[in-house]
């Protein structure tokens, strides 16, 4: 009898809830920025579907400072409440409207329109041509451009020129940029960068960085357009289409 009672007591003991990791992106290689209590007050900015668990962009208070990051799943109380409200809003939208026979019409509830959800751009850190460490999270624009190029690829060189032009025209309006070069740090590269008067960082020997995004010389050019939350708006535009798209984004900010 006694062993049975002990087993029953242990079986009934509740497991303690572990904290929820706040990470810097939604990838498998994300860095943990902090660990949040389940009941921590956070602002849920958006939800990003596509993974086994939904990834949520949130702003949390860490050591008294607001920190933007992501959490996987809805273990946080604030995230669960965000989902509850979103489901309730979708039910309200889907419910058929029936005219009231005698009662006056009732105004529909105001439902906040969610912003489009974009996949996060995985961060990286590398040394630029001045020997300074730079990263994607170091970009401070409302629109951020990450351009992968090589002086041996004519089309990617032309794309870099377009990015330089956009940066020069709209840096004061909120465009920031970072270049990653798929070639060694040579005198020829330095002359090329000098001729362009490149005003933003360029990472030489960027093969390892490019490999993280499945980019190689044959797939150049590739320029990622990111929003202020480091989410990928597009990476498929080139030439005039890229320039027109960035101008449109700046006009909307």
- Are 247 and 129 in a shared domain? yes
More confident residue, 242 or 72: 242
- pLDDT tier at 46, thresholds 50, 70, 90: confident
- Are 105 and 193 in a shared domain? no
More confident residue, 128 or 17: 128
How many domains does the structure of the chain reveal? 2
Out of 94-98, 111-115, 158-162, least confident range = 111-115
- Are 101 and 152 in a shared domain? no
The last residue of a domain, from among 94, 115, 136? 115
- Are 191 and 211 in a shared domain? yes
Distance CA 54, CA 196 (A): 43
8 found inside a domain: no
Q: Report the candidate in 191, 206, 196 with the shortest Cα–Cα distance to residue 167.
A: 196
Identify whether the C-beta of residue 123 lies closer than 8 Å to the C-beta of residue 136: yes
- Are 221 and 130 in a shared domain? yes
Mean pLDDT, residues 80-105 taken together: 70
Q: Which residues, listed in sequence order, are joined to residue 206 by a DSSP beta bridge?
A: none
What is the DSSP secondary structure assignment for residue 151, as one 8-state letter?
A: T
User: Which tokens sit at 118?
Assistant: 């974009």
244 found inside a domain: yes
- Are 79 and 46 in a shared domain? yes
**pLDDT given at position 16:** 47
Q: Structural domain of residue 93, as residue ranges?
A: 14-115
For 64, the 3-state DSSP assignment is coil
More confident residue, 25 or 51: 25
- pLDDT tier at 57, thresholds 50, 70, 90: confident
The last residue of a domain, from among 115, 139, 173? 115
134 found inside a domain: yes
Out of 70-84, 111-125, 158-172, least confident range = 111-125
| This model's pTM is above 0.85 | no
70 found inside a domain: yes
Average pLDDT, the chain: 84
CATH number for the domain that contains residue 229? 3.40.30.10
Give percent above pLDDT 90 in the chain: 46
Cβ-defined contacts of 153-157 (< 8 Å, 24+): 153/182, 153/217, 153/220, 153/221, 155/220, 155/221, 155/238, 156/220, 156/221, 156/222, 157/192
- Are 109 and 185 in a shared domain? no
Identify whether the C-beta of residue 74 lies closer than 8 Å to the C-beta of residue 42: no
- Are 105 and 133 in a shared domain? no
- pLDDT tier at 9, thresholds 50, 70, 90: very low
**pLDDT given at position 47:** 80
- Are 110 and 130 in a shared domain? no
- Are 31 and 86 in a shared domain? yes
């Amino acid at each position: 009898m006694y062993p049975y009672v002990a087993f029953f007591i242990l079986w009934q003991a509740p497991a303690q809830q572990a904290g929820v990791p706040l990470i810097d992106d939604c990838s498998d290689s994300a860095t943990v920025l902090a660990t949040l209590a389940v009941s921590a007050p956070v602002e849920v900015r958006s939800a990003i579907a596509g993974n086994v668990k939904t990834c949520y962009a949130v702003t949390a208070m860490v050591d008294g400072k607001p920190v933007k990051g992501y959490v996987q799943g809805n273990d946080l109380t604030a995230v669960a409440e965000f989902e509850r409200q979103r489901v309730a809003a979708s039910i309200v939208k889907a419910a058929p409207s029936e005219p009231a026979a005698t009662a006056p019409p009732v105004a529909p509830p105001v439902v906040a329109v969610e912003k489009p959800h974009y996949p996060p751009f995985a961060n990286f850190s590398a040394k630029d041509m001045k020997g300074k460490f730079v990263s994607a999270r170091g970009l401070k624009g409302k629109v951020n451009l990450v351009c992968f190029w090589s002086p041996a690829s004519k089309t990617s060189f032309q794309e870099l020129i377009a990015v330089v032009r956009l940066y020069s025209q709209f840096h004061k309006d909120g465009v920031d940029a970072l270049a990653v070069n798929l070639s060694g740090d040579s005198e020829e590269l330095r002359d090329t960068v000098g001729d362009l008067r490149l005003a933003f960082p360029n990472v030489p020997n960027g093969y390892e960085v490019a490999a993280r995004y499945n980019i190689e010389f044959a797939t150049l050019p590739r320029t990622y357009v990111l929003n202020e939350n480091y989410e990928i708006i597009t990476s498929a535009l080139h030439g005039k289409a890229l320039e027109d798209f960035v101008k449109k984004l700046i006009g909307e900010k």
